Amino acid sequence: MQGIGSRLCPRCEVACKELGENGQKMYEVRNYTHYRENALEHKPGQAAAIAQYVQQVGVKIGRNVFTSLHNVNPADLHNPDILHNIYLGLFKHMMQWVEGFLKKHIRQQGFDNAWKEIPPYPRFRVPQKGYWEVTQWQGKEMGNLSPCISAVLASALRNPDSSQHQDFQHALKSISALVDFSLMAQYRSHASDTLAYMAMYLMTFHQTKDVFLEFRTSKAIRTEANRQDREQRELMASQHAKEVHHNTAAKSRQQADQDRLQRFNQRADLIRQENHVNFIKMHYLSQDSAHVRRFAAIPMYSTEIGELAHKKQIKEGYPRSNKNEAAHQILLHYGSQHALGMRLQTLETLLKAESVIMIDNSGGEVGAVRRSIPRPVLKGQMRNIGTLTKLCRTCSIDYGDVIEEMLHFIKRTVADDLPLPTDPTELGFLPVEQFTHLEIPVTDFQETDVFQIHGVRCTGTKAFCNCGPRINWVWIQAGGEESYGDLRGREVANLVGLFKIRNILIEDIGVRRLAFLSVLDPINVGRLHLASSHIQVGKRTSGRDMRIVDIGTVIGQAHLIPSRERQWIVNHRIDLLTFNEIY
């Protein structure tokens, strides 16, 4: 429809051989009106020059249907699309490269093992099959894969030997940069810093993507490589047949191995020379920053929107009509529904404001309505748990360690309005209630008045949904932003138990809602790994890792991928909020 070649960019005059080059290079924006004018107004002797020029820029004169439209620039019609360009485009190519890379270095089993151990997380679908068992990847599967692919790959490529170290680093850098670029592109609003980060991630990806170049082989290149390999094999066979002296069986096998290695190296050299990543979706990444500067965000188109709109706008209105002049009645029905929906959203937005003055029918002020901020909530109360002794027995925790940690917690909160007794005997007799579920309100990314609920669980030895015990990883706020390196004051812990303890020894009965945690230590002082940009944590080698904290200290669910024994990779790319805070 735009009258250009199939492998060309509709927005700029980039050559086919430069589609996969560094995205920092700027190209001339297409001027379709200029193309048309040159084609129609040329002199008789300039036909050959015009034809050469048109072929050079890849334009088919007279084929663009948008050029004649008033106030329409065909170069502006194409917009970036995260779903089709990144998820269904580049990520599909990326996973083909990763599969070839893992097969070359015999790391498929390690990748599949890490894939099967991906833990649950809010708004994330845990894979039900091994990676190699999935036969078809659609948009939802690719969107589900992108938040965890870099951490799973980092786990699979651990412990490289000296010959693999550089390739593994480049592979991790390339995949991490592409995932980071896709996450940054999903921001609802941008600043100069986010655009600079997008440019940096794109540049890193282009600098390191050549490690996958040997796995980007087209059908034509494979056909040519097979033809040359067949000719080389026939040539070697004819040369050996002309030899006068006959070799022994051992020398014949040695000669065959040498010939096979020579043919393999020649084939690899040909593929390496002919392979390229010059396809249009690779070039589209360089246009995202310009689109953000003009339109503030990059959309994620979906074909489901049109289907849902057809159902809501037409199909729901027809049964409510009298079937006579139904089109007019369908429009009236949808218009009234839309107006009521907009009114309800307006009232909801006003009620969520910081301070809303309500006006009654007489015109007087009723009062100010303040926005309510949700708090953590304990759910799933367990029966027959009345004291700390029974609680320790249920959670398989030593009673002495719990009492000692409770005393440490009481000392840290000595100025609190709800004090607990410091006598271990009195503590042992206080009533206790155990819970298995904690709902943590987490502010949605770039939305101050929208909260996501992270439901973390600690079922102890009991099974959850017939899948064994569920003990989630959580984030706790343990210090300022200067603490724990790039974790910025956060620590990762395993949620061991949840309980509520009542101090019945004072007049105003105080209730404390607490959590048992098994805290992990950050490796390398919490700094990001240079290649994969991940943080690793591990079990403490000395000292007790148990800690008791108020449930308000638990600020969200964490996502960890198993790495080595007693070590995990912190997957901070699991959602935009965590990705924005840990970088």
Tell me, yes or no, whether 363 lies in a domain. no
Tell me, yes or no, whether 519 lies in a domain. yes
Tell me, yes or no, whether 369 lies in a domain. no
Task: Mark 412-447 as b/e (b = at least 16 C-beta within 10 Å).
Answer: eeeeeeeebbeeeeebbebebbbbbbbebbbeebee
Q: Identify the residue with better confidence: 277 or 57.
A: 277
At 64-105, the pLDDT tens digits run: 667 777 777 777 777 777 877 888 888 888 998 999 999 989
Q: Measure the CA–CA gap between 253 and 239, rounded to whole angstroms.
A: 16
- Same domain, yes or no: 109 and 223: no
Q: Measure the CA–CA gap between 418 and 123, rounded to whole angstroms.
A: 36
44 CB-contact burial (10 Å; exposed 0-12 / middle 13-18 / buried 19+): exposed
Is-contact 489 478, C-beta < 8 A? yes
Does residue 357 carry a pLDDT above 50? no
- Same domain, yes or no: 96 and 150: yes
- Same domain, yes or no: 35 and 50: yes
Largest CA distance in the chain: 116
Neighbours of 574 (CB within 10 A): 24
The pTM score is: 0.80
Q: Between the ranges 42-51, 172-181, 450-459, 532-541, where is the mean pLDDT highest?
A: 172-181
Q: How far apart are the first and last CA of the chain?
A: 43
Average pLDDT over residues 173-184: 92
Sequence-distant (6+) residues with CB within 8 A of 399 are 388, 389, 392
Residue 358 has a pLDDT of 45
Is-contact 296 190, C-beta < 8 A? yes
Share of the chain above pLDDT 90, in %: 22
Q: Which helix (H) or strand (E) holds 474?
A: strand 473-477
Does residue 45 carry a pLDDT above 70? no
At 432-447, the pLDDT tens digits run: 999 999 999 998 888 7
Q: Between the ranges 54-58, 305-309, 540-544, where is the mean pLDDT highest?
A: 540-544
Residue 372 has a pLDDT of 66
Residue 460 has a pLDDT of 75
Tell me, yes or no, whether 64 lies in a domain. yes
Q: What does each C-alpha distance from 371 to 365, 453, 561 come to in angstroms? A: 18, 17, 37
Neighbours of 291 (CB within 10 A): 19
- Same domain, yes or no: 92 and 40: no
- Same domain, yes or no: 194 and 147: yes
- Same domain, yes or no: 180 and 61: no
111: confidence class by pLDDT, cuts 50, 70, 90: very high
Tell me, yes or no, whether 72 lies in a domain. yes
Residue 568 has a pLDDT of 93
Tell me, yes or no, whether 306 lies in a domain. no
Q: Measure the CA–CA gap between 435 and 433, rounded to whole angstroms.
A: 7
Tell me, yes or no, whether 5 lies in a domain. no
At 358-373, the pLDDT tens digits run: 444 444 444 444 456 7
At 128, list the tokens: 């039900």
Name all contacts of 344-348 with Cβ < 8 Å and 24+ positions apart: none
At 136, list the tokens: 């078809």
Q: How many domains does the chain have?
A: 4
Domain that holds residue 233: 219-240+249-275
109: confidence class by pLDDT, cuts 50, 70, 90: very high
Does residue 310 carry a pLDDT above 80? no
